[in-house]
Amino acid sequence: MAMVQPRSIRARKLGAHLALLGFVSLVVFPLLLVISISFREGNFATGSLIPERFSLEHWALAFGIPWERPDGSVVQPPFPVLLWLWNSIKVAVVSALMILALSTTSAYAFARMRFSGKAPILKGMLIFQMFPAVLSLVALYALFDRLGQLVPWLGINTHGALILASLGAVALHIWTIKGYFESIDGSLEEAAVVDGASTWQAFYHILLPLSVPILMVVFILAFIMSIMEYPMASVLLLDEDKLTLAVGAQQYLAEHNQRWGDFAAAAVLSGLPITLVFLLCQRWIVGGLTSGGVKG
Amino acid sequence: MYTTNASRGLPRHRSRYPAERYTRWALRALTAALVLATLWLVVAFHLRGQWMFALLFLVLGASLAIVFGKRQLMSHRYIFPALAGMGVFVIFPLLYTIGISFSNYSSSNLLGEERVRAQFLDRTYQAEGQAFDFRLYREGGQMRLYLEAPEAGREGTRHLVSEPLAEAEGGQPLAVRPSEAAPAGEALGLREVIARRDALEALTLVTPDGTELRMSGLRRFAPMLSRYQENADGSLTDRRDGTTLTPDRETGFFVTDDGERLTPGWPVAVGLDNYTRIFTDPDIRGPFLQIFVWTFVFAGLTVAFTLAVGFVLASLLQWEQLRGKAVYRTLLILPYAVPAFISILIFKGMFNQHYGEINLILEHLFGISPDWFTDPALARTMLLIVNTWLGYPYMLLLCMGLIQSIPRDLYEASAVDGGGPLTNMVRITLPLILKPLTPLLIAAFAFNFNNFVLIALLTGGKPDILGASTPAGTTDLLVSYTYRIAFQDAGQDFGLAAAIATLIFLLVVGLSLLNLRLSKVKV
């Protein structure tokens, strides 16, 4: 707008910018601080945001490379961060794919078919989805403990158990995909069925290719949720080399042996990729998160 | 919306295409294999006496067979996998938890009665007679025990050497014979003895005069006898003093004649005991009520703070004349993008008493250094600060979405009438977005009500409440309290934890029904 603006508006804009900048700096401060700390020498270094005594020690340790100090002593990496990250990614990819498969097929039925019990099942799912897994951890532990005695790769301390346990959380994704399916006109599939396609063929060859965007969103959402999952992993996984990042990372700040510097490097190393994925996909993720909840 | 032949119950023709026929047969074979696998689990669980799990998989296998066997249930095939997932990993654990809440299942009542009885029968005591110190010798691949009586024996031999340990495979008693010299080879250190402890504990040594020796300590073998003897009526007799232990199936313990309970016991149903304990036992009721109130306060304040921050920011960001909105928006949702378990730990470090940056700054500016982790009020303040940081981006995104849908002409009308930005915000924006926002606020309340990760990673519930008989902290929420009762410290009380979990279930059901009604979900 090329209008001449009254002075009060300009002052207000300046005020708004200042307020926003102030708030943004408060929000970003912890994140910048951690990046700075990861480059500082020693585990308890303090100082300005730009490190005065620059050191790559923590980063080397985070990548699992032993670090030789100037005085000749060699520091071994305290925790297998890369292994934890790999565990997390492995579990998250597999469980996200399985969640995607389960929720897509059921969303298809809910969006396109008429069958008995549809409305109560959908509503029931919404209610059950609100129960946090923390509350039934005793039962989940018992279930996998017993199951593991019969099927070893589904027992306590296996990634199989963790992946399987995550399959309970599909309701939100079903609602999201169902909403998207309903926004696609069904006449294409009806035409295919009239021409002799089975329901499965109509779903697989016609509806699925049209819905790739929402499938991506749900995959990424399920992936991120699985990476961040803490309570179940903390109970189901025991050995250090089995842990996921969410459970392992807290060991850096254990009660009596706090490794603040090492933690900072590990946190940036493992948190950055996830943050970037989120920011790159934010438009779709945010849409999925908010609309799925609002419209239902 | 269309209906297929199958769901109308009409017959399906044999397909003209061989490939399709083979796929159908492959699918049928897969279904059959899955059903058989589930049935195998049912039988195996049943044989182990775990009827709950047998029943679970019986229901699963039967519904699998029905849904994939009947053509009329074509549509249900699509939803079956997801429903099975929810059934096994959400609904079954929920029912199982409610079931546990009526039992005394805990770390002292963990195993079944038979296993407990077997444990008692395995107990031994040191009988009269000579005890020996032992050392383990290795010669080549063979190991021998060398026994030495600490004081000159009244009834004879001072030194004994065993046959090679390999001969004791399968629980055979191992003969020892007198010897004046130690066996050949090297004596092993204590560390290696500990490494072989299980094998040594299983050993029974027989001296030439027929006494049986068993390991009684890390350095000793002594004549050991089984302590308990089983009687025909199921009770146990203590061989040392002749007391009788009777199994009490009401409380799940073996009790002596004068009523003393011996641990371990076994799980039995105790009715509403756990619930009455929550509401009548003062050592549990006090902490429970305190935590209950704090949980509500925490969830309520979190929603209020995050909404306030998010709403103000959203109102600022929707101002058309402001530049750089995209950059602000990206920076402002950063806390949402960073994984929570990392940012919570970052705050844990930043609030640290000694090296944390927050106290360094406060010290520098005001000369104060608050005890964030040891003072209850400060710890709670810290939780609210961190949770507001974590949670406002969600509210910001919701508010921005909803503000977009408010018609612009309302603001134009307000401008004509001379309304300022504050009037717009309070009189137009807020009332218009509050209604669609309400169900989401309830969901956010329910989420924070159960915000386990924040508590577990930041404070772990500490500082602890004094005088509580269960692990309970001033910053604990009900969920983390339940978790600590069930999984932390000594005396894991699964029954009590499950009872509290059941109470939370009821609250959550209430909240989600309210939510469902307010959001008017269309199915």
Give dist(CA A264, CA B181) in Å, integer: 61
Provide the whole-model pTM: 0.82
Residues of chain B contacting residue A250, judged by C-beta atoms under 8 Å apart:
341, 345, 457
Task: Give the model's pLDDT for residue A217.
Answer: 84
For residue B139, give the DSSP letter: E
pLDDT, one tens digit per residue, over A32-86 is 999 988 888 877 666 666 777 788 888 988 888 888 888 888 888 889 999 999 9
Range of the structural domain that residue B217 is part of: 126-226
| CA torsion angle A248 A254 A258 A263 (round to 10) | 20
Looking at per-residue pLDDT, the higher value among B109 and A243 belongs to A243
Model confidence band, residue A289 (pLDDT cutoffs 50, 70, 90): low
Closest CB from A103, A151, A275 relative to B338: A275
Average predicted confidence (pLDDT) for chain A: 85
Backbone angles phi, psi at B78, to 5 degrees: -70, -35
Residue range B232-249: mean pLDDT, rounded: 81
Task: Give the model's pLDDT for residue B43.
Answer: 93
Which residues fall within 8 angstroms of residue B46, CB to CB, at 6 or more apart?
B54
Q: By the CB < 8 Å criterion, does A183 face chain B?
A: no
Nearest CA in chain B to A201: B20
Model confidence band, residue B360 (pLDDT cutoffs 50, 70, 90): confident
Q: Is the pLDDT of residue A293 over 50?
A: no
Same domain (yes/no): B337, B238? no
Which residues fall within 8 angstroms of residue B328, CB to CB, at 6 or more apart?
A20, A24, B317
Same domain (yes/no): B178, B216? yes
**Distance (Å) from the C-alpha of residue A242 to the closest C-alpha of chain B?**
18
Q: Cβ separation of B1 and A245 shorter than 8 Å?
A: no
Q: Cβ separation of B523 and A9 shorter than 8 Å?
A: no
Q: By the CB < 8 Å criterion, does A204 face chain B?
A: no
Element spanning B124, H or E:
strand B124-126
Q: Cβ separation of A289 and B397 shorter than 8 Å?
A: yes
Looking at per-residue pLDDT, the higher value among A94 and B259 belongs to A94
Same domain (yes/no): B513, B371? yes
Q: Which CATH number goes with the domain that contains B305?
A: 1.10.3720.10
Task: Give the model's pLDDT for residue A100.
Answer: 95
pLDDT above 70 covers what percent of chain B?
93
DSSP assignment of B258-307, as one string? T--EES-B---B-TTHHHHHHHH-HHHHHHHHHHHHHHHHHHHHHHHHHH
Q: Cβ separation of B316 and A19 shorter than 8 Å?
A: yes
Task: Give the model's pLDDT for residue A2.
Answer: 42
Nearest CA in chain A to B338: A275
Same domain (yes/no): B200, B236? no
Model confidence band, residue B522 (pLDDT cutoffs 50, 70, 90): low
Q: B93 in a domain, yes or no? A: no
pLDDT, one tens digit per residue, over B160-189 is 888 787 776 666 778 888 877 777 777 888
Backbone angles phi, psi at B50, to 5 degrees: -100, 80
Q: Is the pLDDT of residue A127 over 50?
A: yes
Q: B101 in a domain, yes or no? A: no
**Distance (Å) from the C-alpha of residue A219 to the closest C-alpha of chain B?**
15
Lowest mean pLDDT among B22-36, B215-229, B431-445: B215-229
How many independent structural domains does chain B possess? Answer: 4
Q: Is the pLDDT of residue B154 over 60?
A: no
- Give the amino acid at B344: I
| CA torsion angle B267 B269 B272 B276 (round to 10) | -30
Strand, coil or helix: what is A296?
coil
Q: B95 in a domain, yes or no? A: no
Q: Say how many CB pairs under 8 Å bridge A and B.
A: 277
pLDDT, one tens digit per residue, over B205-229 is 887 777 778 887 778 888 877 788 8
Same domain (yes/no): B181, B237? no
Same domain (yes/no): B352, B467? yes
Q: B315 in a domain, yes or no? A: yes
Cross-strand bridge partners of residue B126: B224
Same domain (yes/no): B249, B337? no
Element spanning B248, H or E:
strand B244-248
Q: Which CATH number goes with the domain that contains B136?
A: 2.40.430.10
Q: Are B93 and A140 in contact (CB under 8 A)?
A: yes
Handedness of CA A149, A154, A159, A164 (dihedral sign): negative
Q: B205 in a domain, yes or no? A: yes
Residue range B6-34: mean pLDDT, rounded: 76
Q: B247 in a domain, yes or no? A: yes
Same domain (yes/no): B369, B239? no
**Distance (Å) from the C-alpha of residue A245 to the closest C-alpha of chain B?**
9
Tokens (6 digits) for B267: 């799980």
Kind of pairing between the strands at B205-206 and B174-178: parallel
Q: B440 in a domain, yes or no? A: yes
Same domain (yes/no): B168, B284? no
**Cα-only R_g, chain A:** 25
Looking at per-residue pLDDT, the higher value among B216 and B7 belongs to B216
Give dist(CA A12, CA B217) in Å, integer: 81
- Identify the CA nearest to B236 among candidates B133, B117, B143, B318: B117
pLDDT, one tens digit per residue, over B255-268 is 888 878 887 888 88
Task: Give the model's pLDDT for residue B173.
Answer: 79
Nearest CA in chain A to B507: A131
**Identity of the highest mean pLDDT range in B85-89, B139-143, B410-414:** B85-89
Task: Give the model's pLDDT for residue B455.
Answer: 94
Find which of A1, A138, A226 to mutate to test the B interface (most B CBs within 10 Å of its CB): A138
Q: B105 in a domain, yes or no? A: no
pLDDT, one tens digit per residue, over A205-239 is 999 998 888 888 889 889 988 998 999 999 999 99
Residues of chain B contacting residue A198, judged by C-beta atoms under 8 Å apart:
4
Task: Give the model's pLDDT for residue A212.
Answer: 87
- Identify the CA nearest to B503 among candidates B438, B443, B450: B450
Same domain (yes/no): B185, B286? no
Residues of chain B contacting residue A278, judged by C-beta atoms under 8 Å apart:
336-337
Alpha carbon separation from B336 to A37, A177, B332 (Å, rounded)? 22, 22, 9
Same domain (yes/no): B50, B184? no
pLDDT, one tens digit per residue, over B447-504 is 899 999 999 999 988 888 887 777 888 999 999 999 988 887 666 889 999 999 999 9
Cross-strand bridge partners of residue A273: none
Residue range B248-259: mean pLDDT, rounded: 82
Same domain (yes/no): B284, B222? no
Nearest CA in chain B to A175: B523
- Identify the CA nearest to B182 among candidates B145, B150, B208: B145
Burial class (CB in 10 A: 0-12, 13-18, 19+), A140: buried
